[in-house]
Structure 1
Amino acid sequence: MPSFLEAPVSGAYHLLTSLVSVLQPFAGAYAAVVAIVVCTLVVRLCLVPLSVRAYRGLRARTELMPQLKLLTERHRGNPERLQREVAKLHAETGTTMFAGFLPLLAQAPFFWLMYTLFSRSVVAGESNQLISGSLLGSPLGAHWPIVAGTPAYLVIAALLAVVAWFSVRLQLRQLDPSAPILSRRLAQVLPFTTLATAAFLPLAAGLYLLTTTTWTIAERTILQR
């Protein structure tokens, strides 16, 4: 790892281990698990303004779907003109195609830190204390078992599947009736990619995915009201 990346990893390690020490008297053996959940919730709370902006952008783009469809039909034979007209429409309405990705991009550094902290035996020049934590008997630094799943992995997988199912229902309700079939298929499939992702990550990162996706569902449900 490049040396300039060691500083944030070291800082995050000391912060998380300090939080685990504070939680130890209350959470016992699950102090590291609670610390991961708490840190994830704090990060998502800080990202609420971006999430609100992303949701407004999504709603604005949904309202623009009829106009975008009209432009596509009108300039089907002129891709360059279509691109200019779509960009002009977005500029006039103050919408952007990338607003919905802002919360996800902002979480990327935290996700990378979580993966790094629970994938290394040595961090900040000392033995990694975080990977000694466990959930239902499974070490937080362990990866998904290929042959037989332990209770912790099965529970995480089942909960991720439930959250993905709710996410599919929510996304389908948000789609415009005129949305193409491909968009509906993607809305039905993409939420379940968290299961595939968790299969290649430490248990701690799977716990992060479960926490952040659950937050996303709750947040979108509230914003829709």
Structure 2
Amino acid sequence: MDIFAFPPLAALLDAAYSGLIALADLLEPAVGVSAAALAVILVTLLVRACLIPVGVSQAKAEQMRARLAPRLRELQARHKKNPERLQRETMKLYTDENTSPFAGCLPLLAQAPVVGLIYTLFLRPEIAGHPNALLAHQLAGVPLGTSFVGALGRGSLDLPTVLVVGTIVAIIAVVGELTRRAFRPTVPAEGPLASSGAQRMLGALQYLTAVFALFVPVAAGLYLATTVAWTLAQRVLLRRRHPLPAA
């Protein structure tokens, strides 16, 4: 089933296509065939700029969770034999503090539709019944609709594709490592997350985006690389403005 056959979604996809084509045409005299790649990066920056207020609320939520951590540990120790009571008391604590354990998740959810749109724009040979001109655009000689895994499966993987996708994956992985080092999670004294194996698994989650970039078109990979770099820079700045309480 093609969800973009649904008229509202088809219209949204066509509007996104028209906007990206218009921006690429505007940039083409300056950067040539890489215009669409630069357009994707600029769109990413625009999306992230619109999400700055959400990022601020995310930093405040992280600060609040760190402040509540000692009280949560007290509740866990007091009611560890009564899970239902522990859940009630935990939710009451969050309610009293006018926050939520899920606060700060919105940036990830808000970006999902944008990633989906870019993924679809560089995957379909036709958009709203007309040829998809975006597929003719390239980055360093690699079509923006090319994915590493797709090219490998077709037997068409070449050196330019390896270099372009490898660079994107390397950028995401380096940013992930910097993020892991700069924002190490607090290790609980006990519980399922206290084991070294659980901590290694949580650390590995930073690199899932890099693995994901191997499966999506180069254009979507550019979006991912740009957004993780923005996220790291934004978190560093906001951590200074909203520091966590001393341990």
TM-score (normalised: structure 1): 0.94
- 1:217 is aligned to 232
- 1:11 is aligned to 15
CA offsets, 1:74-131, max 9 Å, x none?
Answer: 1111111111100110011122121221100011111110111011010121110111
CA distance in 1: counterparts of 2:50 and 2:201, whole angstroms: 28
CA distance in 1: counterparts of 2:194 and 2:142, whole angstroms: 41
CA offsets, 1:23-77, max 9 Å, x none?
Answer: 1111211100110000000000000101110111011101111111110111111
- 2:245 is aligned to none
Q: Which amino acid aligns with 2:68?
A: L
Could you tell me whether the CA contact under 8 Å between 1:137 and 1:152 is conserved in 2?
no
1:101 lines up with 2:105 in the alignment: yes
CA distance in 1: counterparts of 2:169 and 2:82, whole angstroms: 47
The counterpart of 1:24, out of the listed 9, 22, 28, is 28
- 1:162 is aligned to 174
Equivalences for residues 184-203 of structure 1 within 5 A: 184-203=199-218
Equivalences for residues 62-211 of structure 1 within 5 A: 62-144=66-148, 145-146=151-152, 150-172=162-184, 175-176=185-186, 178=188, 180-181=193-194, 184-211=199-226
CA distance in 2: counterparts of 1:47 and 1:184, whole angstroms: 29
* 1:150 Cα offset (Å): 2.3
Q: Which amino acid aligns with 1:110?
A: V
CA distance in 1: counterparts of 2:102 and 2:201, whole angstroms: 17
- 1:47 is aligned to 51
* 1:186 Cα offset (Å): 4.2
Q: Which amino acid aligns with 1:219?
A: Q
- The 3-state SS of whatever aligns with 1:99 is coil
Could you tell me whether the CA contact under 8 Å between 1:118 and 1:204 is conserved in 2?
yes
- The 3-state SS of whatever aligns with 1:181 is coil
- The 3-state SS of whatever aligns with 2:164 is helix
Residue-pair matches, total: 223
Could you tell me whether the CA contact under 8 Å between 2:44 and 2:223 is conserved in 1?
yes
Q: Which amino acid aligns with 1:211?
A: T
Structure 2 unaligned segments of length 5 or more: list them. Answer: 241-247
* 1:203 Cα offset (Å): 0.8
- The 3-state SS of whatever aligns with 2:105 is helix
Could you tell me whether the CA contact under 8 Å between 1:13 and 1:124 is conserved in 2?
no
- The 3-state SS of whatever aligns with 1:77 is coil
Structure 1 unaligned segments of length 5 or more: list them. Answer: none
Q: Which amino acid aligns with 1:176?
A: T
TM-score (normalised: structure 2): 0.86
The more displaced of 4-13 and 183-192 is: 183-192
Percent identity between the two aligned chains:
41
The more displaced of 149-158 and 35-44 is: 149-158
Could you tell me whether the CA contact under 8 Å between 1:36 and 1:208 is conserved in 2?
yes
